[in-house]
Structure 1
Amino acid sequence: MLLSCQKQTSINKKDIYNKLKVEKLITIADSLFESNKFDSAFYYYNEAIFNCSPVKDAESYISTLNRMAIIQQTHGDYAGSEATITKALPYAKYVKNQLHTWNLYVTLSVNYLDTYDYKNAILYNEKALQLNTKNWRKLAAKNNIGVVLIQEKKYYEALTIFLPLETKEEIIKDKEIHASLLDNIGFCYFKIDDYKKGLDYMNRALEIRQSVNNPFGLAKSYMHLAQFYEKRDLSLSKKYILLSYTEYSKIKHVDGRLSALKMIIKNSSNQELKDYSNIYVTLSDSIEEVRQKAKNQFAKIRYDSKREKEENLKLKNHKAENELKLEIQKNRNIISYIIIVLSLCLILILYYYLTSKANREKIEAAYNSETRISKKLHDELANDIYHTIAFAENKNLSLLENKEQLLNNLDTIYSRTRDISRENCTICTDGNYVLSLKEMISGFNTPNINILINGLDTISWDEIGKAKKTAIYRSLQELLVNMKKHSEASLVAIIFKETNKDITISYTDNGKGIDTTKMVLKNGLHNIENRILAIKGKINIESDFGKGFKVYIKFPL
């Protein structure tokens, strides 16, 4: 938010050019302006301009034109606002109190910012900074330059402007300005990927704005927080953008509501997407109509005044100029509608693409799972059953030792069947995940194998997604299956540890180990590596013959 404080200086001295009449008109206009009756205020300001001498009373002339330009700016008539304010520029040299010139430059900078002319927006703030005014106005001009740099996405340069202002007493005393500054700093840090600082500053700004209870400030804070969480926590992002929309709605800030609706539409689907899109289109049409009527009203006021004081030729030129502005605005409206329609089409295409992709991945995963199970059944279970049948056909089962051998073979078949079932069962990822994981690990305990678990209950499993839980469950299961089949280990230790941003899992056994220099990741170890990489994790394997087997897994929260 640009900081702009427009103050009116009263005229106390009389002059020969009807100064009293000008004073009276400005007083009436100021009262109407403060009451938000802008059309009537514009009329009286316009009357004052026609009775005011721009040279003899430059301060009144400049401040009046400045108020008129602000009214036009408020109603979205940036071209008309610029045309009005530039009339005051030649007479700035006649004012003694540079406050009026400062107001003039700041209004121009706001106008250029709103029309994306960032070069001139910075230029006029730098001009305002060079004026002999109070220190807080210089700080305001610096802040405005920082805001323009944010719009240009020059976040590092903006921080060099904002950070020195953070400790200024004039800034800290004004809670609204202080909160705006902190929010801008936080937004810059967020944009340069310093998320911790960004979130800290934005939260501090939000606390101040909540204490002040300024809807506009709150809406800005909620908007920035929604953008911050958009790629981290979509539900939280949506909560903040809805809050922003609510606060903008309280003060009927149309541009803010439209910005909030754009973000809501971007992150909505189905009926919700349709509902908010309808609100956006309705609101956009409504504000364009209101602004157009306001522009026409202000143009009419000027037209009526000039009709009494200027020649018919000048009136015709003014009318042609207004028609051109209306045509430009009409073209802008058409372009806006086209952009909205294209955006909606793009969202729908993206939605269908992602849905189709997810379905294809599910089918492929199911096929791979079926293939893997089929291979295990053929390679492991079928061979065991064949050998057992052959044994039963060719051996005398009346002998005790043959019976025991048959029972052992059947027990082996049962164990393999149970292992295959356990490896492909549905994994519980809800509140019972820890218990399910413990039961799976404990299932590998035997009289000859002792498994130790440490730190499992200290992990914040509720904050970890289902995909990550599934990957960890399957990875540990693969490690334990490999241990049982190949390592001849008697002791296994699994240690869980949580840091600020990561989870680490350390697996160690005292088995016979493998030569890592000749190791090729196949089957189980290959599956483990793929699963860990899929959740953006890292895996490191350490082993040697006769020195056991160690695996270190690390993945982000």
Structure 2
Amino acid sequence: MIKNLLPFFQKKNILFSLLIICLILATLFFVSFSKAEKKQKNHTKTDLSNKIKKTSEKAHAFFDAGKYDSAYFYFNKTQLLCDPKEDYADAYVGSLNYIVEILQRYGNFYEAEATLIKAFPYLDKTSSKKYAINAYTFMAFNYFYTYNNEKALYYHRKALKTAISTFRKARILSEIAFVYVQQKKFQEAKDILEPISKCKIADKITPSNTNLVRSGILYNLALSYIGLGNHKEQALKCLDESLELTIPYNNDFELIANYFGYYLYYSKYYNPELKKFYAEKSYHAAKRAKSAGNEIDRLADLLKMDKAEKAKKYWEIYTRKNDSLYLSRKTAKNQFADVIYDSKKDKEENFELKNQKAERELQLQRQKNRSYISYVVISLSLFIILFLIFYITTKGKREKNDIILKSEMRISQKLHNELNSNIYETLLFVQDHNLENQDNKEKLLDSLNNIYSKTRNISRENSKVPTDERYLAILKEMISEYKTKDVNIILNGFDSVFWSKIDKNKKIILYRILQELLFNMKKSNSSSLVSIIVKEINKNLLISYTDNSNEIISENNILEKRLQNVENRIETIKGTFNFDSNSESGFKISFKFPI
């Protein structure tokens, strides 16, 4: 069947026509597929702006009221509505930032990190830099809370690089300095904070944040001064100004840090009474703010300095508060885990409904797409298979013909070179001599025998070389044919080699190399003794060939050109080739190859 198809495909115009048909089918498929994609995108790009806005407003209301479980639910619902996310990048990234803040309040830092990572691909698509800054800042806080200060600094620096306004940059620099303080790099923190503390930078978007941020800068600067020492007056001045800026806000949560700063200051510059005074003020501020974690920490500070009677009282409170905090956090985490689970479940249900609706509308189009794909795949496959059959068959025939032609030319040339003169001389001898004479008959027979021997040698040179257990015997037989009454050939080491473990191709090449060397020896007609030694050394087969011919190897010598073929054969089996061109006792050559 294939033979019948070949003449058909040998016509170039038929191949060209088939290729054009395949290209047309492929074009039709891609046009149809692009229409389906466009239709699917138009289907999903319905206007969800109002729905997203309403859900986001609910989320913010719950967040401001401190109902973080409900806020999480609606922020999560907002980000699920943002599909595709590129069209609602602000709402999507903003919701994720709030979700992260809630997760961090509950101490779920690993979930917070996974949530933030989802926001990063869309930071460049938001309308304001604040979304990216907040995302980087929350990631920095996340690493800070998990005691990875280097990563925290990395994301604070990314936020700093993204920030444009001076106020935002000052706030971020203050956060970086605070991390340095925790690392006890007080000098680095001081170098950052001193320049920005001298400037009163205002928040033009939310003016109420101005004094709070400045209070934080001065507080962090005071901590760096306390850590360095020898800055007693500067540290107290910063603490006083920070407290003065915080008091008008009537925010007990902010006052916890201010009073704690004084506690650290009077711990550094030993004043037990004031140290205790501010430890108690920080404790009562934490108590009013209902910050259980800070309340317990401040109780621990009081326990360190109070007398036994009061220490017992504080210890009872500390134990009760610690147990209560552990229980409430555990309960809150369990409740919050339910909220996360419900949100994920809601996400899966919404996604499933959207897919069902889209699949119903596009089912017919998808069926058409599958048909087009089938047509194109079948057409292309048929074309490729037939083309490969045609190409491989014609290439194989062409290569085979080239090899046959080259072999015939080589054999013809060799027959011409080696037998032409002998045949011509034999014919002349037959014409000029009486063949009835017994001596003439003898000479004619010798001449014919010589012609036969040369013909047989040429035939053997191009015949198949057996590589089985007969190889050694055939190799020796080939070598013995070059042995005459005038030429003695000595073989050494042939029987000690395990020929069965040598590769077939290497056996054939060794056979041809020795055949070629012996042929050159015989052609020179100047050797009376030939030595061939075979050794197996370190998984290599070493062959040394020596004869006592008087041929000299030089750059322009014919023998040099003949040996080029030997060298090429050796290189094909990754062997090495050496010959002694300065030998005065004859011709020497050695080569080796891996077994």
Provide TM-score, normalisation by structure 2. Answer: 0.47
Q: Which amino acid in 2 is paired with 1:209? A: T
* Structure 2 CA distance for partners of 1:87 and 1:294, relative to 1, 3 Å: farther
> Is 1:150 equivalent to 2:187 in the alignment?
no
> Is 1:181 equivalent to 2:181 in the alignment?
no
- Match in the other structure for 1:205: 242
- Match in the other structure for 1:222: 259
Matches of 1:21 and 1:258, distance apart in 2: 43
- Match in the other structure for 2:132: 101
Q: Which amino acid in 1 is paired with 2:56? A: I
Q: Aligned to 1:22, which of 40, 52, 68?
A: 52
> Is 1:243 equivalent to 2:281 in the alignment?
yes
- Match in the other structure for 1:551: none
Q: Cα offset for 1:303?
A: 1.6
Q: What CA deviation, in whole Å up to 9, does each residue of 1:347-368 have, x standing for no partner? A: xxxxxxxxxxxxxxxxxxxxxx
Q: What CA deviation, in whole Å up to 9, does each residue of 1:503-536 have, x standing for no partner? A: xxxxxxxxxxxxxxxxxxxxxxxxxxxxxxxxxx
- Match in the other structure for 1:298: 336
Matches of 2:254 and 2:95, distance apart in 1: 28
Q: Aligned to 1:42, which of 53, 67, 72?
A: 72
* Structure 2 CA distance for partners of 1:103 and 1:97, relative to 1, 3 Å: same
Matches of 1:303 and 1:214, distance apart in 2: 34
Q: What CA deviation, in whole Å up to 9, does each residue of 1:40-92 have, x standing for no partner? A: 11111122222222232121111101111111212222222222222212222
Unaligned runs of 5+ in 1: 1-13, 312-557
Q: Aligned to 2:345, which of 273, 288, 307?
A: 307
* Structure 2 CA distance for partners of 1:288 and 1:76, relative to 1, 3 Å: farther
- Match in the other structure for 2:159: 128
Q: Do the aligned residues in 2 keep the contact of 1:99 with 1:133 (CA within 8 Å)?
A: no
Q: Which amino acid in 1 is paired with 2:115? A: T
Q: Do the aligned residues in 2 keep the contact of 1:149 with 1:158 (CA within 8 Å)?
A: yes
Q: Cα offset for 1:258?
A: 2.1
Q: Which SS does the other structure have where 1:107 is aligned?
A: helix
* Structure 2 CA distance for partners of 1:309 and 1:164, relative to 1, 3 Å: closer
> Is 1:159 equivalent to 2:190 in the alignment?
yes
Q: Which SS does the other structure have where 1:133 is aligned?
A: coil
Provide TM-score, normalisation by structure 1. Answer: 0.51
Q: Cα offset for 1:204?
A: 2.7
Q: Do the aligned residues in 2 keep the contact of 1:186 with 1:198 (CA within 8 Å)?
A: yes
Q: Do the aligned residues in 2 keep the contact of 1:109 with 1:120 (CA within 8 Å)?
A: yes
* Structure 2 CA distance for partners of 1:74 and 1:60, relative to 1, 3 Å: same
Q: Aligned to 1:79, which of 105, 110, 115?
A: 110
Matches of 2:277 and 2:157, distance apart in 1: 39
Q: Cα offset for 1:104?
A: 0.8
Q: Which amino acid in 1 is paired with 2:94? A: S
Q: Cα offset for 1:308?
A: 4.8
- Match in the other structure for 2:170: 139
Q: Cα offset for 1:144?
A: 0.9
Q: Cα offset for 1:34?
A: 1.1
Q: Do the aligned residues in 2 keep the contact of 1:175 with 1:212 (CA within 8 Å)?
A: no
Matches of 1:104 and 1:305, distance apart in 2: 21
* Structure 2 CA distance for partners of 1:220 and 1:82, relative to 1, 3 Å: same
Q: Cα offset for 1:179?
A: 2.2
Q: Do the aligned residues in 1 keep the contact of 2:181 with 2:224 (CA within 8 Å)?
A: yes
Q: Which SS does the other structure have where 1:170 is aligned?
A: coil
Q: Do the aligned residues in 2 keep the contact of 1:78 with 1:115 (CA within 8 Å)?
A: yes
Q: Cα offset for 1:212?
A: 4.3
Q: Do the aligned residues in 2 keep the contact of 1:33 with 1:41 (CA within 8 Å)?
A: yes
> Is 1:265 equivalent to 2:303 in the alignment?
yes
Q: Which amino acid in 1 is paired with 2:152? A: A
Q: Do the aligned residues in 2 keep the contact of 1:156 with 1:192 (CA within 8 Å)?
A: yes
Aligned runs of 1:350-499 on 2, under 5 Å?
none
* Structure 2 CA distance for partners of 1:308 and 1:39, relative to 1, 3 Å: closer
> Is 1:191 equivalent to 2:196 in the alignment?
no
Q: Cα offset for 1:21?
A: 2.0
* Structure 2 CA distance for partners of 1:147 and 1:309, relative to 1, 3 Å: closer
Q: Cα offset for 1:309?
A: 4.8
Q: Cα offset for 1:278?
A: 2.4
Matches of 1:77 and 1:308, distance apart in 2: 21
Q: Which SS does the other structure have where 2:290 is aligned?
A: coil
Q: Which amino acid in 2 is paired with 1:294? A: A
Q: Cα offset for 1:177?
A: 2.0
Q: Cα offset for 1:150?
A: 0.9
Q: Cα offset for 1:294?
A: 2.6
Matches of 1:309 and 1:169, distance apart in 2: 46
Higher relative contact order (Cα pairs below 8 Å, separated by 6+ residues): 2
Matches of 2:119 and 2:261, distance apart in 1: 36
Matches of 2:347 and 2:259, distance apart in 1: 50
* Structure 2 CA distance for partners of 1:83 and 1:272, relative to 1, 3 Å: farther
Q: Which amino acid in 1 is paired with 2:254? A: G
> Is 1:255 equivalent to 2:285 in the alignment?
no
Matches of 1:201 and 1:66, distance apart in 2: 32
Q: Do the aligned residues in 2 keep the contact of 1:226 with 1:237 (CA within 8 Å)?
A: yes
Matches of 2:99 and 2:126, distance apart in 1: 19
Matches of 1:240 and 1:306, distance apart in 2: 46
> Is 1:288 equivalent to 2:326 in the alignment?
yes
Q: After superposing the two structures, state which structure 1 stretch, 45-54 or 121-130, moved more.
A: 45-54
Aligned runs of 1:114-125 on 2, under 5 Å?
114-125=145-156
Q: After superposing the two structures, state which structure 1 stretch, 156-165 or 201-210, moved more.
A: 201-210
Q: Do the aligned residues in 2 keep the contact of 1:146 with 1:161 (CA within 8 Å)?
A: yes
Q: Cα offset for 1:261?
A: 1.3
Q: Which SS does the other structure have where 2:155 is aligned?
A: helix
Q: Cα offset for 1:132?
A: 4.6
Q: Cα offset for 1:176?
A: 2.2
Matches of 1:121 and 1:309, distance apart in 2: 31
Matches of 2:347 and 2:252, distance apart in 1: 44
Matches of 2:49 and 2:235, distance apart in 1: 53
Based on CA coordinates, which of the two structures has the bigger radius of gyration?
2
Q: Aligned to 1:90, which of 118, 121, 146?
A: 121
